[in-house]
Structure 1
């Protein structure tokens, strides 16, 4: 078991405070003038429409925003801090909540966390603790004790500014589910549902994609499809060639050696623009005054799929916003067709033969077209995320494997 690579997904646009990663979980610091309209916990209803008869186990883990402590919540929403870990890692307390049977629903309480709600079928997940905190399942590691368990998770932040909850495929595509939030007027906003036949449709499409993409699929010895690894994890596991995006990157590098790439990273601030040119083996970005603001080395495939390393996106107002724009452009293969980024129209996404086919095929099977196929799939608002500033209830629906 190893610590999972952290990739930020939930970034509430209304929060002007800093975000930090701790033990793989996104921690949001609410604004200082935040109100207290959101109670300490809200109901979370988990509905089992999976069609499977396996026992479901649910886990609510994360960082308690009031204290910064890491831990887990029981069914009543009561916080329990993790005990001290060790080296080698020691077993974590059993944080599982018995989930709903097939065709049934279970309502528990969701606390003010920035964290995850895990759910597994048939077996409990294995969590361990190091001296640095919680060690979560690492789906790319075949020796991970959770490697043969069918499971998935959603990510959420609940604070005084509201609830943000998503359906994520940043690390893997696995057990299908959708999320929702009930608003004060009684209406519910949902995302994450697949089209009819979308679960099998995704795996069939990935199997048919040449170039090693079929190797991302992981199947248990009993024939159960467990998951498809995200391409970055696939590269790490040796399932996908590390050079899979090289041709596209080389073409981008050639194009912007003689042309300018214009990045307008903030939709609400169109006057802020940065201008990229490749020179001396790097892509240099200047501001409107011609001053150099940041530079990028030519990214490798793993940097692109993970939106990190050579495409690191710090929480600042310059490099981070440019990097996330580049990351979206590489994954969606829009940098060659549009020199003005971000390109927010999905009509032009994934059209090049060299692209993030994993993300492409996920979006194609989503009922609303929304997904988190990579870390910055929220560029242009194409992410599977729902939010309300005064949430009355949250929902996770375990969907059919069809």
Structure 2
């Protein structure tokens, strides 16, 4: 998808590919399905938001059997996008009426890798370029969706099962939870905030000095729409570009005289890489002492976006090292633990210089799990459900409290 998922495409999409290959840090979650996965499965959408506005649902993505981009209707039938233009042309209306407050509605989702959007009160504006669908980009003040209250979940449904997550990588907005019913009838869910967690996360940002309150976007009437991710905060000037410099400098200083050890695969404990800073660059060597990859000192954009100087290609060396570094920088664990990744959440976000957005969100999640930055899945702290033989998926719109 175009904008398509920008940093998400370069980061978490790589994570999902890794999951589907059954190699996500040795979890084995990509195990073969226990039974054939049907062409579509039901997605039950429950509106517990207590809001009176009309809800609109969109199921947009890539049809895995053909690679075509498009949308699915309520019955799960795929519709390819027509050709776009330059300037972008309006996309067909792919909206599905959602359930009223206190009600549920069930749609069917096909074998897609895509997003389920939901909006309150207004339909979202989607356009098509010659390269595909233009996603909402509300960090841009002129985006037509800037003053619409909306959010989305991401999923992949294929022959090996369902992966469904809640995400705050781009923004923290309308609260929701996701779930899956397994073949044995049991359910798993994630993404639910604690009671008071929505306001708790926003209030934590308001109370954090240094520009973090500037991540919160409101309508002209003052009502809250969302908090932007710190990546977009840096890009738009809401956060200073130097917001992570002090921590990064301390990390570079520490590992000029000591070694940072990265063990990127939990199921391959013998695969280790050793990082030392020399000449301003962190070089990683393998067990034979050969330099396998190097990193320039990252800036805040590289840290928050897990890109640029912390780019993570879909390979078996630089990508896994980079995602581990990215997690360590966002969680501020690189100074307290020279053996990464650090899997103990109790040590996360303790430094005064950290990803306070991720800190605030994780602190308010009922199970502690979130996708607050692109590689929040390092150490299994992500809000993801998976099953190889899913009976049904769930999306629950939660209250704004």
TM-score range, shorter chain: over 0.9
Q: Which residue of 1 aligns with 2:91?
A: 92
Q: Which residue of 2 aligns with 1:113?
A: 112
Residues 185-238 of structure 1 deviation map (CA, whole Å, 9 limit, x = unaligned): 111100011000001111111100000000000011122210000000111111
Residues 371, 2 of structure 1: alpha-carbon distance in 2 compared, 3 angstrom cutoff: closer
Does 2:189 align with 1:190?
A: yes
Contact 2:181 2:390 in 1 (8 A): yes
Q: Which residue of 2 aligns with 1:49?
A: 48
- Mapped to 1, the partners of 2:318 and 2:72 lie a distance apart of 36
Within 5 A, what are the aligned runs for 1:3-402? 3=4, 5-7=6-8, 8-9=11-12, 11=16, 14-16=19-21, 37-402=36-401
The alpha carbon displacement at 1:16 in A equals 2.4
Question: Please, what is the CA RMSD of the aligned residues?
Answer: 1.7
Structure 2 unaligned blocks of 5 or more: 25-29
Residues 77, 2 of structure 1: alpha-carbon distance in 2 compared, 3 angstrom cutoff: closer
Contact 2:285 2:292 in 1 (8 A): yes
Residues 36, 130 of structure 1: alpha-carbon distance in 2 compared, 3 angstrom cutoff: farther
Q: Which has the higher helix share?
A: 2
Three-state SS of the structure 2 residue aligned to 1:326 is helix
Three-state SS of the structure 2 residue aligned to 1:6 is helix
Residues 211-269 of structure 1 deviation map (CA, whole Å, 9 limit, x = unaligned): 00000000111222100000001111110001100000000000000000000000000
Three-state SS of the structure 2 residue aligned to 1:143 is coil
The alpha carbon displacement at 1:139 in A equals 1.9
Q: Which residue of 2 aligns with 1:27?
A: none
TM-score by length of 1: 0.95
The alpha carbon displacement at 1:11 in A equals 1.8
- Mapped to 1, the partners of 2:347 and 2:374 lie a distance apart of 19
Contact 1:4 1:135 in 2 (8 A): no
The alpha carbon displacement at 1:4 in A equals 5.1
Contact 1:3 1:137 in 2 (8 A): no
TM-score by length of 2: 0.95
- Mapped to 1, the partners of 2:361 and 2:177 lie a distance apart of 14
- Mapped to 2, the partners of 1:110 and 1:254 lie a distance apart of 50
Structure 1 unaligned blocks of 5 or more: 20-29
- Mapped to 2, the partners of 1:113 and 1:325 lie a distance apart of 28
Residues 306-364 of structure 1 deviation map (CA, whole Å, 9 limit, x = unaligned): 00000000000000000000000000000000000000100110000000000000000
Contact 1:3 1:138 in 2 (8 A): no
Residues 164-200 of structure 1 deviation map (CA, whole Å, 9 limit, x = unaligned): 0001000000000000000011111000110000011
Three-state SS of the structure 1 residue aligned to 2:6 is coil
- Mapped to 1, the partners of 2:33 and 2:127 lie a distance apart of 34
Three-state SS of the structure 2 residue aligned to 1:153 is strand
- Mapped to 2, the partners of 1:197 and 1:295 lie a distance apart of 43
